[in-house]
Amino acid sequence: MKTVSTSKAHSGVQGVYTHASDSCACDMTFAVFVPPQAADGPVPVLWYLSGLTCTHANVMDKGEYRRMAAELGLMIVCPDTSPRGEAVPDEKDNWQFGSGAGFYVDATEAPYAQNYRMYSYITGELPALVAARFPADMARQGIFGHSMGGHGALTIALKNPERFRSCTAFAPIAQPSTAGWSRPALGKYLGADESGWRAYDATLLIADGHRFPELLVDQGTADGFLDEGLRPWLLEEACREAGMALTLRMQERYDHSYNFISTFMDDHLKWHAKRLR
């Protein structure tokens, strides 16, 4: 692991780091905010997964999480959204696929299977690195994210309820297997057999018996992607049929931007902190 930068913030440290990833077969960059409470011992870890076109830097620069994370004693880990580099297959004119659009899956189709293994990276390789290099209490982990990252957070939590104590999302892609802006990517990463897509679709995971104690989702009513890509009512229906607790808050006149995310960031951090105590 190499340190790109560190900076003091709210008596904690915001750092950016790189390392050679075995899962993604390329160098990966991630950010970690270590709160001041870490001086006294390991602190809870909260994973933030970003959305399409983003890197680790979007939430770090615009998410406004450090003040509250420092107050609550939460470590915030912000991975990148996908593998990157000249040797990594990409579609540079397609913002919904390739670089910036890893969808937190483990690709099975050539030529993407070698690099696009974000599920394994987020659930295995990066947590091991964080546990080894940072004052992280890995027995107390939560996960949240935005849009594509909200989809990732939901699916990862549903498949790993023994690891995560809390899960929330901002405007997640609720059912990517049927959404117009995610179906093409899943087909390229996972192949034409849509039965293999179910492992990366929150609504279908719930239908297949996966459970998580409770979820919080915030969604803006003025989000331009609401009807085409996000469709939180599908997640609401799946949770209702499964008897699973979901708090879905439709926020009037908010859009898909980080203005929306930063407005409700404190609420999400407090939700996680309460469950990570």
Residue-range domain boundaries for the chain? 2-276
pLDDT tens across 84-107, in order? 999 999 999 999 999 999 999 999
* β-sheet bridge partners, residue 80: none
Cβ–Cβ < 8 Å for 75, 35: yes
Residue 200 has pLDDT above 90, yes or no: yes
pLDDT category at 154 given cuts 50, 70, 90 is very high
Residue 145 has pLDDT above 90, yes or no: yes
Query: Which candidate in 146, 151, 210, 256 is catalytic?
Result: 256
The pLDDT of residue 16 is 98
**146 tagged catalytic:** no
Distances (CA, A) of 272 to 48, 71, 143, 169, 260: 12, 13, 8, 11, 18
| C-alpha triplet 147, 183, 268: angle, nearest 5° | 15
Residue 256 has pLDDT above 90, yes or no: yes
The pLDDT of residue 208 is 98
pLDDT category at 229 given cuts 50, 70, 90 is very high
Residue 150 has pLDDT above 90, yes or no: yes
Query: Which candidate in 146, 218, 223, 272 is catalytic?
Result: 223
Q: What is the average per-residue pLDDT within 108-121?
A: 98
Residue 142 has pLDDT above 90, yes or no: yes
Cβ–Cβ < 8 Å for 70, 62: no
Provide, rounded to the nearest whole percent, the portion of the chain with pLDDT above 70.
100
pLDDT tens across 8-67, in order? 999 999 999 999 999 999 999 999 999 999 999 999 999 999 999 999 999 999 999 999
The pLDDT of residue 181 is 86
Going along 41-95, which residue ranges are E strands? 43-49, 75-79
Report the mean per-residue pLDDT for the chain.
98
CA 133, 136, 139, 140: dihedral to nearest 10 degrees?
-150
Span 2-276: which CATH code? 3.40.50.1820
Count the neighbouring beta carbons within 10 Å of the beta carbon of residue 131: 14
Query: Which candidate in 50, 82, 147, 177 is catalytic?
Result: 147
The pLDDT of residue 153 is 98
Which residues lie closer than 8 Å to 231 by C-beta, 6 or more apart?
A: 174, 175, 179
**223 tagged catalytic:** yes
**195 tagged catalytic:** no
- φ/ψ bin of 152: left (φ > 0), alpha (ψ from -120 to 50), beta (otherwise): alpha
Q: How far is the C-alpha of 270 from the C-alpha of 119, rounded, in Å?
A: 26
